[in-house]
Amino acid sequence: MTISHQGTALITGASTGIGAIYADRLAKRGYDLILVARNQERLSALTKQLNGQTGRSVRTLAADLSDKADLAKVEATLRDDPSITMLINNAGIGAVAPLLLANVDKMEDMITLNITALTRLTYAAVPGFVARGKGTIINISSIVGIAAEVLNGVYGASKAYVLSFSHSLVHELADKGIRVQAVLPGATATEFWDIAGFPHQNMDQAIVMRADDMVDAALSGLDQGELVTIPGLQDGIDWTRFEANRRALSAKFGHSKPAPRYRAA
C-alpha cells in the first residue's frame, strides 16, 4: 500500500521517549521529519533507524531550546520551510520537589523551556500555516495542567499554560484551516521521570502508561478531531462535561458590580 506524503513534521524533544515514538508513528503515516533535541548522537541513531524502516526523509537539528540562539535556529526553520505541515511541541522538563525544596533558578529554566520556547515556536509556525491554509499543532501538556496539586507547582502551572494556550489557538485558528490538539498524558514510562528525580519504576505501575500506548492514543484522538486528548481518562464524557461547565461558567464572569457576597454591609 502506498502512503501519501503528508508534508514535514517538526518534533521537539525528539531523540527519545514520547518524541521519538511520535517520529516513528508519523514517518509511518507518510510524514518527512525534522527532529529537534540536544543530543545529536541520539538524533543520528534515530534517523538511521527511521530511514531504514520507512524510507522517509529525516533531518536533524541539534538545539537546546533553553538557549536563545539555538531556539532562534528552530524558529527560522519553522518560518522558512514551506514543507512543514505539523509542529509537535513535545520538549519539556518537570519536577517533583515542593516549593520549599526547589531551586528557583531551575524553576525559571522550566518556564523557559515549557512555556517560552513552546510559545515562540508556535508563533514562528503559525503565519506560514495560515498562509498555506493548513497545518497541525500538537502541544504536549499534562494532567497536572488540571490537577495542579499532584506535583511541583511550577511544573503544573507551566502545563496549565500549555492547555490554556491551546484553547486560545483553537479559538483563533480553527477557521483558518489549522488544527490544534493539546495532549494531557498522565504518568508515562519515559526517562522524563528520572530527570525529574522520581523514576517511574518507583510508582504504582497501575497508573503508569507505556509511552507507545500514550502516543498511539494521542494520534487516535487527533484522527477523531479531539481538541484535548487525555489518554488515561477512561470515560470521555467526563471531559465533555468538565469543558461544558468551564465554558458555561466563563460566560458568567462579566458584570459591572461585584457579587452580593462582596458588598459592604
Q: Grid coordinates representing 23?
A: 517520529
Taking the C-alpha atoms of residue 119 and residue 95, their distance in angstroms, rounded to an integer, is 20
Alpha helices by DSSP H, listed for 146-257, are 153-173, 192-196, 211-223, 236-250
Dihedral over Cα of 204, 185, 38, 34: its sign: positive
Taking the C-alpha atoms of residue 105 and residue 109, their distance in angstroms, rounded to an integer, is 6
Q: Tell me, letter by letter, the H, E, C secondary structure of 68-83.
A: HHHHHHHHHHHHHCCC
Annotation marks residue 155 as catalytic: yes
DSSP H or E stretch at residue 8: strand 8-12
**Which residue of the set 22, 155, 161, 262 is catalytic?**
155
Alpha helices by DSSP H, listed for 84-117, are 104-111
Taking the C-alpha atoms of residue 249 and residue 74, their distance in angstroms, rounded to an integer, is 39
Taking the C-alpha atoms of residue 122 and residue 129, their distance in angstroms, rounded to an integer, is 10
Catalytic residue set: 155
